[in-house]
Amino acid sequence: MMRQYELVDRVRKYNPQTDEDLLNRAYVYAMRAHGQQKRASGDPYFTHPLEVAAILTEMKLDDATIVAAVLHDTIEDTGATRADIDTLFGPEIGRLVDGLTKLKKLDLVSKRAAQAENFRKLLLAIAEDVRVLLVKLADRLHNMRTLHYVSPEKRARIAEETLDIYAPLAGRMGMQNLRDELENLSFKYLMPEAFAMVSTRLEDLREKNHELIKTIENELTEELARRDIKADVRGRQKQPYSVWSKMERKSLAFEQLSDIFGFRVVVDNTDDCYRVIGVVHRKWPMVPGRFKDYVSTPKQNDYRSIHTTVVGPGRQRVELQVRTHEMHDIARHGIAAHALYKDGRDAPAPVLSHESNAYQWLKRTIDMLSEGSSPEEFLEHTRLELFHDQVFCFTPKGRLIALPRGATPIDFAYAVHTSVGNSAVGAKINGRLAPLLAPLDNGDEVEIVRAEGQTPPAAWESIAVTGKARAAIRRATRDAVRAQYAGLGRQIVLRAFERAGKKFSDDKLRPSLPRLARSTIDDVLAAVGRGEMFSGDVVKAVYPEFKEERKAQAPDRTDPGWFRMQKASGVQFKAPGASSDAQAVPIRGLHGDLPVAFAPNGAVPGDRIVGIMTPGQGITVYPIQSPALAAFDDQPERWLDVRWDVEDAQSLFPARIMVAAINEPGSLGAVASLIGEQGGNIDDVTFNKKSPDFREMIFDIQVFDLKHLNDILSRLRVLPMINSVERVIG
């Protein structure tokens, strides 16, 4: 465990004016507060806040941040209070520690709502003071470094949350080193076999190419020195998770990757960056389409660098990044490199330099997301906003708009202004009329065609990529049908209370709104009417002692939740009149006595889905990306807004995959064995193509959910005889 004097020495190395008394008092206070508490490893709990503080000293942060790191778990896990921290260490540190403290006494029906509400509190605290984010990321990093001590279930949950939220958040704040480590640790625990495979291959490649890397480093350094350019040239290798992500995203084998190795050239000033590019492009031919200038157009997280790819020695592709020392510092530490703090315990809140676009983006995003009607919606839109791959487009007046890759003119319109998105009816891309669904490319000029009084279609929510667009579309459509859904929800809730033998009134429901994570009675009723909230949850919120005996009651078909699959009691509901082929589908949003079935190639929980109604036949559920839906584009009256109503899938659902494998003995058996080992069930196998060299097989399988399906696909791609594996969506 780090000693008291060691912590002080760490801070004094970069801050000779540090308040040693403040650091010493925080050390002693936290050690006494945590007392005999232990971590899962058996170590004293106090070692954790000390390690978090040590991580932050590597970023050379101010005294208040280091002290907040030492104290960050005291309010949450000990008898300490906010008032105690304020009295002993000042309100500034008290505010930081409070921002890092979870809301322990949340009385919410849904655990997901509690998780989202805590995350909302954290982000709001971050918007007030960026140092809360720095401590939280350091806290998560140390927890990930010691994750092997916790149970497998908790390990998987924390690693997935880290990969979904905290690693992208670190990336959006420009903290690339921290993001890389969070991603690799998550990858290691979520997919240990894939992590081991990629790491081993990278190590073998590093040993094989060691001399080539040194040759390129020396050759490029000498070439620049001859032109009086002082530069630090270093070879670098992609991280395991980055390699795996590219293999998955582009369906490539490891051998097909051409940019595993790259080189970073760090120079003294911006002029030298462009001089280096001139030297490199004259010496080696550039690969077309691989030049990106993030110096003149920085990324939204303040990242600046020039990227190029050339055909270097040995006819190998070589990727180069050229930047100044200042740019390099920001690329590694991101927003931490921007923070300018004054020394002393009475220092004001941190002042960020005018260049810190990342923090300004985060504050704007939090302000926008906080308008969401539910904590679950807030969490969903936050995940969407953390996508980091970007395209840069322009308005006709030259305003630059940064969007996630895959964004459409719908996202562009809402990025300009919510009113522009709500009134959009068309778009011109580079002067030509284009559909609102067209994906945007770097450099596109986009003009939105508007019509006053227009209301965005609800289907746009499934098409939009950005959280801002989805939130605005959902809000607009919610307002348009709010009265209708609230009326339906009131009828459903009244019947639920009648079945329970309880009295319902608005006055009785109002005190229970916090437990349902809604701010108004209309919000609750509309959520029930839309099928987003089960009516029984409303009864339990008002009468906590009430226990619903669902076995003894027939399902209420006016409640959108009646399609829930009652796995625990062995009961499965089907729409009345359903044929023998119809599925017992755990989906909300379906009404009436109609049979329900899946599309021919299936749909699994995790897919965004839509229902298509065929008069006289029933409802067919399709994944939203199914090309078959194009046939119904001109029949909007047949489209139904449906959603999965499962959290932990206990049943298998159909999916179809296509496997291209080398035509050799045992290939079919290897594929079938792996699917079985991973818990999948094979319904049917057909051979689509067969040649002397390879065979193409179509598997109809059953899986629990989209994550289960993607895990099977990932593991199949690792098999040596496999050429490609794809999901078939018809």
Radius of gyration (C-alpha) of the chain in whole angstroms: 28
Confidence (pLDDT) at 116 = 64
Strands 400-404 and 390-394: antiparallel
Q: Would you call 546 exposed, middle or buried from its count of C-beta atoms within 10 A (0-12, 13-18, 19+)? A: middle
Distance CA 567, CA 42 (A): 39
Locate 221 and state its tokens: 């350094």
Return the amino acid letter for 539.
Answer: V
Domain boundaries for CATH 3.30.460.10 within the chain? 209-333
User: Which tens digit of pLDDT belongs to each residue from 537-594?
Assistant: 888 888 888 776 543 334 343 343 333 322 222 223 333 333 333 344 555 545 444 6
State the catalytic residue, choosing from 9, 43, 58, 76: 76
Strands 596-598 and 618-623: parallel
User: Which tens digit of pLDDT belongs to each residue from 664-681?
Assistant: 788 888 898 899 888 888
Name 607's Cβ contacts closer than 8 Å, sequence gap at least 6: 623, 624, 625, 644, 706
Q: Across residues 623-629, what is the average pLDDT?
A: 86
Confidence (pLDDT) at 567 = 28
**Beta strands in 525-616, from DSSP E residues, in sequence order:** 587-588, 596-598, 609-614
pLDDT confidence band for 723 (50 / 70 / 90):
confident
User: Which tens digit of pLDDT belongs to each residue from 398-426?
Assistant: 787 878 778 899 999 998 988 899 999 99
Whether 115 and 547 have beta carbons less than 8 Å apart is answered as no
Strands 446-450 and 261-267: unpaired
Distance CA 559, CA 592 (A): 11
Which one is the CATH code of 653-728: 3.30.2320.20, 3.10.450.40, 3.30.70.260, 3.40.190.10?
A: 3.30.70.260
Confidence (pLDDT) at 378 = 59
Query: Which percentage of the chain shows pLDDT scores above 90?
Result: 25
Residue that has been written with the tokens 């098999």 in this structure:
719
Whether 704 and 577 have beta carbons less than 8 Å apart is answered as no
User: Which tens digit of pLDDT belongs to each residue from 366-378?
Assistant: 665 555 555 555 5
Q: At what angle do helices 270-283 and 210-225 cross, to 10 degrees?
A: 120
Q: Across residues 134-157, what is the average pLDDT?
A: 92
Q: Would you call 19 exposed, middle or buried from its count of C-beta atoms within 10 A (0-12, 13-18, 19+)? A: buried
Compute the mean pLDDT over every residue in the chain, rounded to the nearest whole number.
80
pLDDT confidence band for 481 (50 / 70 / 90):
low
pLDDT confidence band for 351 (50 / 70 / 90):
very low
User: What does each C-alpha distance from 164 to 118, 169, 302, 361 come to in angstroms?
Assistant: 16, 9, 21, 19
Confidence (pLDDT) at 301 = 74
State the catalytic residue, choosing from 9, 43, 58, 77: 77
Distance CA 682, CA 701 (A): 4
Q: Pick the range with the lowest mean pLDDT from 88-97, 123-132, 283-292.
A: 123-132
Q: Which CATH superfamily, name and number, covers 4-186?
A: Hypothetical protein af1432 (1.10.3210.10)
623: left (phi > 0), else alpha (psi -120 to 50), else beta? beta
Domain boundaries for CATH 1.10.3210.10 within the chain? 4-186
Domain boundaries for CATH 3.30.70.260 within the chain? 653-728
Confidence (pLDDT) at 277 = 94
> Residue 477: phi, psi to the nearest 5?
-70, -35
Confidence (pLDDT) at 251 = 79
Nearest in space to 193 (alpha carbons), one of 672, 706, 726, 719: 719
Confidence (pLDDT) at 266 = 94
Q: Across residues 291-303, what is the average pLDDT?
A: 84
How many C-beta neighbours within 10 Å does residue 461 have? 19
Model pTM? 0.55
Give yes or no: 76 in active site.
yes
Distance CA 449, CA 436 (A): 10
Q: Which CATH superfamily, name and number, covers 209-333?
A: Beta Polymerase, domain 2 (3.30.460.10)
Confidence (pLDDT) at 679 = 86
Locate 281 and state its tokens: 């492009």
